[in-house]
Every structure is written in C-alpha cells, then in structure tokens.
Amino acid sequence: MDCYVEDHLNWRPMTTADLDELGRLREQMGSFDGTMFTAMDHPADVGGDQVLGENCVGGWDNYGSLLAFGWNIIDPDPGRARVHLAGGVHPTHRYLAIGRKLLAWQQARAVEWWQAQRPEMELWMGCYVEHGQSGLQHILTRAGFTVERHFIDMHRSLDTVDVPREVDGVTFVPFETGHSEEVHALHHLCFGADIDRDHWETSLARVCRTCSWVALADGIPVGYVLSGDDREEGLDAPPEGWTERLGVHPLYRRRGIASALLEKTLVSMAESGCVSAGIGVDTTDPDAGVALQASLGYERGDSVLLMSRSLAPAKSVS
C-alpha cells in the first residue's frame, strides 16, 4: 500500500532503525498531553516483531524530525481478524488534519490486510484513548468508532483497613503454586479469557503469594485475588500494592466473596509495608463497574477508553 498520508510531512514506511526516534516522539507527546502509555498502545513493546514496512508509517518534516506515526498492530491469533491502531501527531503539527488523514490511512491499510489474509472473518479495529484525549476521541467518533470498554485505575490508602468479612461455607487461604492450574481454569470460566498456560505462568511471576488469596467451597476454588506490589520497579516512592486479577465463580457471586477477597489482600498489603493499594477495572459501564471497589474505599485515577469499529466479512465461505 502507498505510504502517502497527506501534504504537510514527508511519509515513508518505518523500520526498526526508527524505534528510538519514535520513543522520543512519544515522550514529547506524553509530556505535552499529560497522558500515560498503555501497554497495548506502545508499539515498541507490542508490535516490534511485525513487518514494519507494511503496517507502520512515519511522517518527517523537511529538517528530518519525526512528527507523526501510525502503527497497525495485528493480532497474531489466526482465528480472528483484529487490528489495534496506535499513532499520534506532535503537538506543533496538530490542527492540520494530519491525525484524521493518518487514521484514514491506518483503516485503509487494515482493510487491505484483512482482504488479503482473512476476508471470511469480521474485521475488528480498535484504538485506546486516554482520559483527556478529546481530540483523538472526536476523530475516532467521526470515523465510526464507538466506545467498547472502559479501563479505570483505582487507588486507596492503607492507613486503615477493615477486618475481612466472613462468608458462610467459604474459607480463604493464601494462594500457593499448587492452586495455579485450578485458578487458571476458574479465570477462564469467569471471563472467557483463553490465556495459554505459558502466558498464565509468566503472569504469576508478578504475584506476591502473601498478598494473594483463594476462596474455597468444599475444598474447590470458587474465587481468587492475585496481587503484587511495585517494589521491584525501583520507584522513589513508598510501595503500592496492586491487584492483578480478581474473579468469582458465576454460581457463587453476590455472596460477598469478591469483597472478602479484596479485604484480605488489603490487610496483607498493609502488613507487607505497602502504604496504598491499586486495582484496574475493566468494564462496559464506568459507573456500575466500579461500585464494588468504591464501596471498599478505592477512588478513581487514570482511565482509558477502548474505541472500536467492526466490518462484516468481505466474503462468505462456501
């Protein structure tokens, strides 16, 4: 596909040699916008093993400075056609319609890939928008994207923590390695998340066993909370505990198990020396989705929208 986007900049496919310059551009945009970089919106982390020339385009000014980029991150799963769109324009060159035209190029490239590789599937295109990026949200809305999910970070102090509640018929035990397989299966049941075993075990490396708990009914896991802290990141700040995963078996919900699990992990975090606790909420409803955490003293922090657009299969399979 032609890499031309518009007239204000000089456009060409990006290569791995451009990644350092791309990092500097993103730092400049982040400083200006006051935003954070989400994992899925960091191309150097997520898309580094892809063919950059086909899916990533950059725009340089006449002095050789990179001022805009668009990167289509293809989902490696051959069973679906999903493309995450990451990109941005330097603050000095916004309001020239570069972002709108860059998005149009990315969508056209996504459709080209889809029609060549997986035309029998529905095409899903998604883009993450941080709170405060009203310009990007407006551009996406005009292009037919709608809000699919909300990702909300919540935090609370651990100056005081409540005594964890008891739940009839349920016992709570610290998470141990021996629980891994059963909790993995329970996580899949709770969320339909098909996380392969290697990825699951890798994610457990971030888990602190003393701050993670499993709810048992008749000796079988029916709930879990997996948490860690940020001490290994070497931050110049008091340690914060972080809840990575929380789930309760569908047949055991509305019995207070999720609240009890979070109360258990809050006490454990405080005892381990953490001064605050955080949790990420993934929800379709930004109000109802945070009710549980808010009832336990968590307050909203950073938030991110996932906006998406889908196209019907280009052709049917006989």
At 34-80, the pLDDT tens digits run 765 543 344 444 444 455 778 999 999 999 999 999 999 998 888 99
At 128-174, the pLDDT tens digits run 998 878 889 999 999 999 999 999 999 999 999 999 999 999 999 99
Rounded to the nearest angstrom, the gap between the alpha carbon of residue 56 and the centroid of all alpha carbons in its chain is 21
CA angle 233, 238, 242 (to 5 degrees): 60
At 238-288, the pLDDT tens digits run 889 999 999 999 999 999 999 999 999 999 999 999 999 999 998 999 888
Beta bridge mates, 229: 241
**CA–CA distances in Å: residue 146 to residues 22, 38, 130, 283, 314:** 28, 19, 14, 15, 21
Better pLDDT: 268 or 192: 268
Q: Please tell me the predicted confidence (pLDDT) of residue 232.
A: 66
Q: Please spell the DSSP secondary structure of 81-117, one letter per residue.
A: EEEEEEEEE-GGGTTSSHHHHHHHHHHHHHHHHHHHH
